[in-house]
Amino acid sequence: MGVRSESAVRIPHAATPEIPEELSRRVVIDRIRPDVDEGRFPIKRTVGEEVQLSADIFADGHDAIAAVIQHGDDEIPMALAVEGTDEWTASFTVSARVGWDEYRIVAWVDRFLTWRRDLLKKYAAGQDVGVELLEGSMLVRDAAARGGDERLLAAADALTDTTPVEQRVAHAMDADLADAMARHADRSHATVSPPRRVWVDRERARFGAWYEMFPRSAGADTHRSGTFREAAADLVRIADMGFDVVYLPPIHPIGVSFRKGRNNTLSAGPDDPGSPWAIGSDAGGHTAVDPGLGTIDDFVAFRAEAERHGLEVALDLAWQCSPDHPWVTEHPEWFRHRPDGTIKYAENPPKKYQDIYPLDFENDDWRGLWHALLDVTLFWIAHGVKIFRVDNPHTKTFGFWAWLIERVHDDHSDVVFLAEAFTRSKPMRYLAKEGFTQSYTYFTWRNTKQELVEYFTELTQTDVREYLRPNLFANTPDILHAYLQHGGRPAFEARLLLAAMLGASYGIYSGFELCERRAAAPGSEEYFDSEKYQFKKRDWTQPGLAELVRCVNRIRRDHPALHVDRTLRFHAADNPEIIAFSKRAGDDAVYVIVNLDPHHMQHGFVDLDIDADAFVVRDLLDDAEYTWHRGRNYVRFDPEIRQGHILWRPTPRT
């Protein structure tokens, strides 16, 4: 019996899988950038911003390639970044409408470009190109048929008429012919990338100055809560300092059970108001207003007054309850229970928060809970709130946030969500990917030059910038860093300059402008007599930083360079206590130099990388002008006099 050769073996056609058509596409589109997890999550922009797009685009062999970005009704031609790299680039401006935007890349082997390139090489080498010109004429006629452009028929004839060959070759190289052929290119075998999405926010998502205040501390009586009507009187002061957003901690009724006293003591006195984050009492829950502040109508009036002064009101979303919250009796299944049947209160061992019950996002009725929380959010949106600071989002199911933010944005795409997630880097980033508009950062704990340079290079020069927008709070009711505790006024000046200049979005908590810096205990970041547990009356007429804050916020508004983060660049400074950086937008460039040492005079040389032998810079803080020169320039900072420069280079006079 003979052995059958392999060449004789035939697999029946019926058993051969159908070959997908996309495998025949010769062009490869790879590594589209910017990118968030290969398109799993959208990149983020604000209205009017550009997307600088790049992709690796190549094909087998040596044929010429053409590529475009399809964005809405527009097609933007792409070009090689550097010959031989296969990296193609182009840019487009996102939609002028808040919400979803979309684009894709289309690339194809361009037979006309290939023909024209090879024709020129052969002609330059002295070869006979008659056949090549005939081939080109056929390509042009095919394009005329595809596009119904009769003018191309005349161009095809011009390639094969009896004029001298040099004239016909020149016609082949004509720019108008190339443009017409590009309009009617043969894309029948083009490769089309899957659509990529861009989430487009309004400008406040990218740029703004925030001020955090407790409205209950307004008013003159230290034994009762200030009202919204009294707090509205303070809006003039806040707006005068140049802020854009006034952020309020929870404004809801506060529980009585296990209420915390002053300085977080376990026993509250009769006048102690408790923590606003212990939400809920017999006066209502998350859709109610604490009776001490007033009514829902009083809040709406407060919000309207804020808007009259150019301020937006941001509210706190804190998904937790006091033991007295109506949900505790109405929906006990929404909470975790101990073996003895009691509800578990919040803990961060060894800390205990007996006045707070966490919600259980894994309970059997989790869908009912999620919808209830969405209803709360929509309730406040219906009352005019378009910005939310979200408390501890990293302690809730990540999928919940993706769901809630998407549901809100379905009908209210202009709503901004700020994630207060002081946690590990990867969960913080993931929350931003899931839809949070802005994020708190580690800025408060980055105080040395090396820490600042490394951290802000990561935030502004890596792919993190495509989805995470930092909001730099110099202090919060929970965080009074040791740098501020021990550095005095110069430390507050330095941190203000850093927060406001490094970040397009930044914030301070009420009292920062008075340099409040007494800690609850050595080594603690808690404030003594924390406003979280008591009414805090302040004398706003005492000396402080209000004038500097006003000046800094005016500079921010006047200079587009400070409205963005991605142009941040650090510059050389030979003293480790001096940091120098710049931002640019078009022709506007701002250079910032800050002394990080609040205790001692520091001096040294900085290099701003300005390409001019001599140039004038103006300090926007005091309008002083200096003539600087290419390369190193001398600076000196005395903490009791100044902690930094904000320099601007006026347009040179002609």
Q: What is the pLDDT of residues 418-435, one digit of tens each?
A: 999 999 999 999 999 999
pLDDT reported for residue 17: 83
pLDDT over 90 percentage in the chain: 92
Structure-block tokens of residue 552? 């800094």
Among 420, 499, 438, 441, which Cα is nearest to 250's? 420
pLDDT tens digits for range 481-494: 999 999 999 999 99
Identify which has the larger pLDDT, 12 or 31: 31
Q: What are phi and psi of 211, to 5 degrees?
A: -130, 125
CB-count burial class (<10 Å; 0-12, 13-18, 19+) for 2: exposed
Catalytic residue set: 391, 420
Fold classification of 569-648 (topology level): Immunoglobulin-like (2.60.40)
At 6 the pLDDT is: 46
pLDDT of residue 220: 83
Please, which pLDDT band fits residue 654 given cuts at 50, 70 and 90? Answer: very low
Q: Is 82 helix (H, G, I), strand (E, B) or coil?
A: coil
φ, ψ (nearest 5 deg) of residue 109 = -75, 125
Average pLDDT, the chain: 95
Our separate counts of H helices and E strands in the chain read 15, 30
pLDDT at residue 5, as a whole number = 44
DSSP assigned state of 6: G
Residue 149's pLDDT is 86
What integer is the mean pLDDT of 516-530? 96
Query: Phi and psi for 55 in degrees, rounded to 5?
Result: -155, 150
What's the confidence (pLDDT) of residue 223? 86
Nearest to 289 by CA among 235, 218, 227: 227
- What mean pLDDT comes out for the span 126-134? 94
C-alpha to C-alpha distance for 395 and 34, rounded to whole angstroms: 29
CB 532 within 8 A of CB 237: no
Range(s) of the chain covered by CATH 2.60.40.10: 21-200
The pLDDT, as a whole number, for residue 629 is 95
pLDDT of residue 390 exceeding 70, the answer is yes
Q: Is the pLDDT of residue 2 over 50?
A: no
Judged against a pLDDT cut of 70, whether residue 265 lies above it is answered with yes
**CATH class for the domain made up of 212-318+363-559:** alpha beta
Q: What are the residue ranges of CATH 3.20.20.80 in the chain?
A: 212-318+363-559
Predicted local distance difference test score (pLDDT) of residue 602: 98
CATH fold for the domain made of 21-200: Immunoglobulin-like (2.60.40)
240, amino acid identity? D
Query: CATH 2.60.40.1180 spans which residues of the chain?
Result: 569-648
Any idea what DSSP says for residue 544?
S
**Mean pLDDT to the nearest integer, 347-359:** 88
User: What's the confidence (pLDDT) of residue 154?
Assistant: 93
For residue range 572-590, what is the model confidence (pLDDT) as tens digits?
999 999 999 999 999 999 9
Encoding tokens for residue 66? 């053409």
Cβ–Cβ under 8 Å, residues 53 and 34:
yes
How far, in Å, are 383, 438, 446, 641 from residue 454 at the CA level?
42, 20, 10, 29
Question: Alpha-carbon distance 456 to 460, whole Å?
Answer: 6
